[in-house]
Structure 1
């Protein structure tokens, strides 16, 4: 039971972070490699705010979500939209966005590294205390409970909205064929801005909860999670809400099992080896659908 709770808690963090990446990649075709920097910088901003004002966990979460959403919007308007306007083909636009995201990520990373001198930073100055609850032989923290509840609930709401709402259907149509969707009157730019804001907010939320869970993170923590989120989306299938949940908890389960049964140094190797094996058998991901093109 203790191991299961560890898997669910870690998987919920992965789910919150990877959900935003999957949402933008699977709908508006933006693979945002600055997602990890947004995750880190939203938490770093909350850390700076706590240096002046003591806030409860709700206030810290709001700071993280707002900063993450704002950063993501700025990146979309100032960088990605400009690339899309000037790119000659869709394939070249995707490549330029990928490279642009990597370049943009270095800016908040450099700021955080300069201010912290690359040392870990946390949110211990808030009024929220991390408590451990004991139920028999099972221990769980209040942060883990919050992470699990928020992660699963937010995923369920997003999946339901994506499948049932008018705007969710519009996003899905953009993911299938953006040109036809535009001809049908769907405002791609407006939906793209909303999607990027939601994605950035999820990254900021994941950053705050992850920092409370570990106690502290480093400016480079976002880069490590970004690689794992990329693997999660590929494993589950790009654009699949069920797939991103499967990928997040599958990766968490494999990492936990390897950590408990080995020295821990094999964690990333075994986890990504499993993903590579799945991709050899099913390149579109476990829940991904094969793309069909008709002439």
Structure 2
């Protein structure tokens, strides 16, 4: 039982890092980035290409993936989302165009990775990193899992506190509540949007590197699969609640691990998303979201 809990925590940590990036851009600057999964995949793919030509330790590989993710997301904001937001006549049309634009942007790195790898899984075989297995209170754990858990929980709590207490975090939250009023109060939305997208991409790159190290390899389609789960996590936790994202990531991972432990692998998605459906029936705003108040 304890081993299954550890596995759930490790899986939830990866989900958390990835979903935090998506939640950060969606709940603050209003960008539902459907290219986030492609950023996750292509960041790991970039590190894969580099490790084919250089034997690098784990920290260097992770740094390459993080930098690639930040660069991809920054370019996406500059070349796609930014122009869309400037030309949109209203917020609703901007959201729809960004949604469609994200799908279009995601097709580019996916096509490149599939062409180079012939849609086959890829990993960091050229890396010098070798996972070590050890036991803690009878639980078998690898150094990879330890890094993933520490990074996931640390980053999750760090982002949560940063948004709640820092000046930049409060400015982002203000944009998420009312961007026009925030702009009138001197908040530079364009600069914050660019920084938010870069941070979001860096988190996607980190998740890509960590999951690849844990599994040994991922496929070009892995990003799309994880994107759906991240969307579910954000909705489950409650839009605008980073604490909800943290809880949602581990709830989803726990449900999946429990189903797998019962040797019912084919039911993983059905049970996981069924749980989310039930929660949203009882609390439409999510576990930690606030009810929207409309004035008439």
1:133 aligns with 2:137: no
Deviation per residue, 1:189-225 (Å, 9 max, x gap): 1111110000000000000000000000000000000
1:173 aligns with 2:174: yes
Structure 1 equivalent of residue 231 of structure 2 = 230
Structure 2 equivalent of residue 44 of structure 1 = 45
Answer yes or no: is the 8 Å Cα contact 2:232–2:276 preserved in 1.
yes
Counterpart Cα distance in 2 of 1:290 and 1:135: 43
SS in 1 for 2:34: coil
**Superposition misfits of 4+ residues, deviation over 6 angstroms:** none
| TM-score where L is the length of structure 2 | 0.98
SS in 1 for 2:37: helix
Aligned pairs (5 A) from 1:186-197: 186-197=187-198
Counterpart Cα distance in 2 of 1:105 and 1:56: 29
1:97 aligns with 2:123: no
Q: CA deviation at 1:291?
A: 1.7
Q: CA deviation at 1:88?
A: 1.6
Structure 2 equivalent of residue 142 of structure 1 = 143
Structure 2 equivalent of residue 74 of structure 1 = 75
Q: CA deviation at 1:136?
A: 5.6
Structure 2 equivalent of residue 59 of structure 1 = 60
Counterpart Cα distance in 2 of 1:82 and 1:138: 51
1:260 aligns with 2:261: yes
Deviation per residue, 1:67-111 (Å, 9 max, x gap): 000000000010001111111211111011111101110100000
Structure 2 equivalent of residue 214 of structure 1 = 215
Deviation per residue, 1:148-205 (Å, 9 max, x gap): 0011111111111100011111001000000000000000011111100000000000
Counterpart Cα distance in 2 of 1:263 and 1:273: 15
Counterpart Cα distance in 1 of 2:136 and 2:91: 54
Deviation per residue, 1:94-148 (Å, 9 max, x gap): 0111111011101000000000000010012111101221346421110000000
SS in 2 for 1:125: coil
Q: CA deviation at 1:230?
A: 0.3
List runs of 5+ in structure 2 lacking aligned partners.
none
List runs of 5+ in structure 1 lacking aligned partners.
none
Structure 1 equivalent of residue 244 of structure 2 = 243
Answer yes or no: is the 8 Å Cα contact 2:52–2:125 preserved in 1.
no
Answer yes or no: is the 8 Å Cα contact 2:70–2:197 preserved in 1.
yes
SS in 2 for 1:98: helix
1:14 aligns with 2:34: no
Query: How large is the RMSD of aligned CA atoms in angstroms?
Result: 0.9
* Residue-pair matches, total: 295
